[in-house]
Structure 1
Amino acid sequence: MTSPRDVVLNAWKTFSSREPERIAALFTDDAEWIAPKGNATAIALDHTDHMKGPHQIARFIAQEMHRLFSDIDIAFRGVHASGDVVIVEERMRATLPGGKPYENDYCFVFTVVGDRIRQVREYMDTRKGWRMVFDEGA
């Protein structure tokens, strides 16, 4: 059996494929991805901050987020695993519509069941994200 850490690291590689079916296969049927309420990405894309099911999650990763972010560059700062929980610290840099830069730090807490992801809890500096996305003194 693949370790939860390896499941999550493989997921990040697969996310970059932008292939919805491959991405959906990474998640359990009852998977959920929970981001902070009212975060700038959800508001800008008129999207939920609590995605449910592998296909909704995969569609967001493969297609929808790319309406807001292009030239995405992700740098891992740390990957920490204990049991079925894997924490990923990262910095995401991207380009927003109109060429504006985006840079924010994220923390993702993954819960893995077997060789698939059951839950992702996402944390970021929501105020910084809001200022950059909505051009409020970033």
Structure 2
Amino acid sequence: MSADIIQQAWATFSTRDPERIAAVFTPDAEWLAPAGNATALALDITNHMIGRDQIAHFLAVDFPRLFTSDVQVTFRGFHTAGETVIVEETMTATLADGTHYANDYCLVFEVHNGLIHRVREYLDTARGARQLRQTVALPE
């Protein structure tokens, strides 16, 4: 059941509709990514988003400023234990400067009462920084 909720949420994320996106999260949801990750640095945003409105704004407004087109997510696996869903995926996209981005992610979703309460995001931060450094001025 929880894996279905996450798959449906991913389809909602792609709509870029902040109201629809916010509706899949609890009001006090959190999204935690590694500190100093290249996406947060490039967009000058926090790596720890709190509240469904902040998360929805990131997915609907901030994310498309950097990953401008051809965003594709290839799911490698969904692993469920109770209300926790672990998603393995590869994301590819065209960046704002026209270069290609590809990175592997592991996301841990905690679901409460049918809504996403917490997301912990893991990725190859060095690979992300190498690719995004071409697009924006990231610190060495």
What is the TM-score with the length of structure 1 in the denominator?
Answer: 0.94
**Aligned residues between the structures:** 134
Q: How far 1:75 sits from its partner (Å)? A: 0.5
Which residue, out of 23, 26, 38, partners 1:25? 23
Query: Equivalent residues in 2 for 1:1-138 (5 A)?
Result: 3-70=1-68, 71-135=70-134
Q: How far 1:44 sits from its partner (Å)? A: 0.3
Q: How far 1:5 sits from its partner (Å)? A: 1.2
Residue segments in structure 1 that go unaligned for 5+ positions in a row: none
For 1:17 and 1:66, the matched residues in 2 are separated by 11
Q: How far 1:114 sits from its partner (Å)? A: 1.1
Q: How far 1:51 sits from its partner (Å)? A: 0.2
Q: How far 1:4 sits from its partner (Å)? A: 1.2
For 1:10 and 1:114, the matched residues in 2 are separated by 15
Q: How far 1:107 sits from its partner (Å)? A: 0.4
Secondary structure, aligned partner of 1:99? coil
For 1:5 and 1:76, the matched residues in 2 are separated by 12
Residue segments in structure 2 that go unaligned for 5+ positions in a row: none
For 1:128 and 1:8, the matched residues in 2 are separated by 26
For 1:16 and 1:74, the matched residues in 2 are separated by 10
Q: How far 1:89 sits from its partner (Å)? A: 0.5
Residue identity matched to 1:123? Y
Q: How far 1:37 sits from its partner (Å)? A: 0.2
For 1:57 and 1:48, the matched residues in 2 are separated by 11
Secondary structure, aligned partner of 2:27? strand
Q: How far 1:6 sits from its partner (Å)? A: 1.2
For 1:79 and 1:50, the matched residues in 2 are separated by 23
Secondary structure, aligned partner of 1:130? helix
Residue identity matched to 2:73? I
